Structure formats: structure tokens, C-alpha cells
Amino acid sequence: MAWRLARQGLTAREPAGRMLELVSRICGLHAQLLSSAELSLWARLEGVTSQTVSGALWEDRTLVKTWAMRGTLHLLPASEYWTWQAALSTYDHYLKPPWFKYFEVSKERLEALIEAVAEALHGEVLTREELAQSVADRTGSPELGEKMRESWGALLKPASFQGKLCFGPGSGQKVRFTHPESWLGRRSGADPAGAVSEITRRFLGSNGPATRDDYARWWAVSPAQALARIRKLGEEVTEVDVEGSRCWMLSDHVAEAASARALGKVNLVPAFDQYVIAATRHADNMMPGPFRSRVYRPQGWISPVLLVDGRMDGVWSHERKGNRLAVTVQPFIPLPAAAKEAAEQEASKLTGFLNSDRLELRFT
């Protein structure tokens, strides 16, 4: 846990200028809630503000928002978009009969939809409604347009995986989409097999030691496929034993991980933080008791977590009340005085990040 905490940028905050390097290293920022992506950066970087993410996305275009692993929303370094897209292009679950049956669309109609989406978004930034209408007009199928309106994301994710769609700046409360080539500029496409190996390398680099099931869950492939991808890295990876579990990590990291020691670090990480998501399969080993349901909640919700030396020792929440910030920490076990003091220091930093004047902190 101590080694992984450091790899995840949670041992000590890094300079804001290393934002893109950090996002690359931890395999993107989960962006189901954009505010969570902002707080994931706050937990790892000095000098970031609540506008850092929006500026990188919509002004500098150094980050890009898209559907990535497991079909979940992520922010990725724009310079690496085509590598990620090449790896995502290997997804084929949406080309199988059960998927077509569930969404009541044929392979031919899905292909027509994807092509229409690509044509509509070239040089344009469209709302979901505008895109649905354009697809209906281009395909001559009002039904396809309706399906895009009814099924949020499901029929757009295949276009995203194929590099035909990413998110553009919103319009009021409405999200908008555009074509990656229009938004980022076309770059030479990466080889899918090579891209998959690179993403596997990235995962192990920030989340190792990991079992094949950890990787399988993270990328949404079978355990057999996950193991094959890990083994394909050859001597770059080493099999290690972690308290009886068969795990893999990058060979260059083994000695460093073996010598890592806890430093008394306390972190407040937000909902859907990458550190917590990557640990889903073995999280019980990183908690002081049977508290999984407090962190990994129904409908895929991941709670904000109190980390003490990388262990999930509680959950927390925050709420703005005028110019005050109310932070509630719910430890799973009694916290040592030093840990409570460190948690209070983190909450104080959060107050500044969120431009609040006063902190109200409770431990319950």
C-alpha cells in the first residue's frame, strides 16, 4: 500500500506543472462526476484550482473527456488520446448478439449510426439532441434518432471506442460532443496490440502488485485474457507473492516496492478516485474490517474515502453552506490523534481549494 500510494501521487503533492504526467501515470481521471476528477487532482497536486480541469479540457485542450475502460467516463491526456483509442478499439462486446438484442439494434444499423455520428461531428460541436437529429436525418431512420435520445451513452460508446466521438464544451446544462480529429487534430494511429500492451504496462505501473482478476475487472476482459496480456510483456513483468496471492508488477518496481514503508500519510480522496477503483477486487485486504459496502455501494457508486497509509480507514463527505465548508469524516475504527490532526489539515486545504472561508469539521 505504501508503494502504491507513492505511485498514485498520494504520498506527497507534486507541482501543478506535472499534472499531465500524473494523469498519464495513474491511467486517467475518473470523470463520472467532473467534480471528483477535480478533487482527485487536488489530492495529488499543489497549486491547482477548481478551474484547472475545465481550463485543460475546453481552453488548452490538454485533457480530453471520453468513454474509456469499462465504458466509464475518463479524462485522459490529449497527447495520448490515440494510444488509448487504439487500445479501446479492441473492445468488441457491442458486436455480439446479446448486445444487439438488449438494445434492439442490428449490427448493420449500429454501423450506420457510428458512421453518421462521425460525419455529423466533423468540425461541429453538438448537443445530444442535435446529434440524434443529425443521425436520424443522415440515416433516414427517425427510430435511430429516438434510440440515441432514450439510451444515454449506450449507442454512443461504440463510436467513442472507434475514435469517432469525444466530449466538447457544454452548453449551459447540456453536454456536447465533437469528433476527436476536429478537436485534437489527427495524429498517426497506434497499433491496437501495441497500445493494449502499453495500457497494461501503465496499469501495473500505478496499481501493481495486481492479480489477473484486478486487471480483468479494470479493463473489462476475462481473467484469461488479462493474464495473457500481462504475460505478453515478458521480462518486463515479475510474478510476486503478496500474502499468498499470485500477483504481477513491473520488474523495475519490485525492489522499490519491497522496501517501501508506511510514512503516516493521511489522504481525503474523492468519490470514484482511481486508487479506490483499481483496488475493487482486493479492497477487503485494505480495510480494517468488513466495511466494503460503505465504500463500494450499489449502482457502481464509489464513496469518498479516508486513507491512512493507503488503508481505507473511513469515508467522508463535504457540503458547502454559504461561505462555510462542512466536512464530515466517518472513521471505521478509532483514529490515532496524529491521523485526526492530519485529516483536519487536509480538510483545511480543501476549504481553500473550494474558495470557502471557514471549515466545520466533524468526526462521527
- Amino acid symbol at 57: L
pTM of the model: 0.95
Domain presence at residue 248: no
Domain presence at residue 122: yes
Say if strands 45-46 and 14-15 run parallel, antiparallel, or are unpaired: parallel
Domain presence at residue 234: no
Judged on CB neighbours under 10 Å (0-12, 13-18, 19+), 302 is buried
Domain presence at residue 125: yes
pLDDT tens track, the chain, 364 positions? 999 999 999 999 999 999 999 999 999 999 989 999 999 999 999 999 989 999 999 999 999 999 999 999 999 999 999 999 999 999 999 999 999 999 999 999 999 999 999 999 999 999 999 999 999 999 999 998 888 887 677 899 999 999 999 999 999 889 999 999 999 997 767 899 999 999 999 999 999 999 999 999 999 999 999 999 999 999 999 999 998 999 999 999 999 999 999 889 999 999 999 999 999 999 999 999 999 999 999 988 999 999 999 999 999 999 998 899 999 999 999 999 999 999 999 999 999 999 999 999 999 9
Looking at the DSSP assignment, which residues form a beta bridge with residue 7?
Answer: none
Q: Which three cell numbers stand for residue 233?
A: 510483456
Domain presence at residue 318: no
Decide: helix, strand or coil at residue 10. Answer: coil
Q: What are phi and psi of 209, to 5 degrees?
A: -65, 135
Give the chain's domain count. Answer: 1
Domain presence at residue 90: yes
> Which domain range does residue 116 map to?
2-184
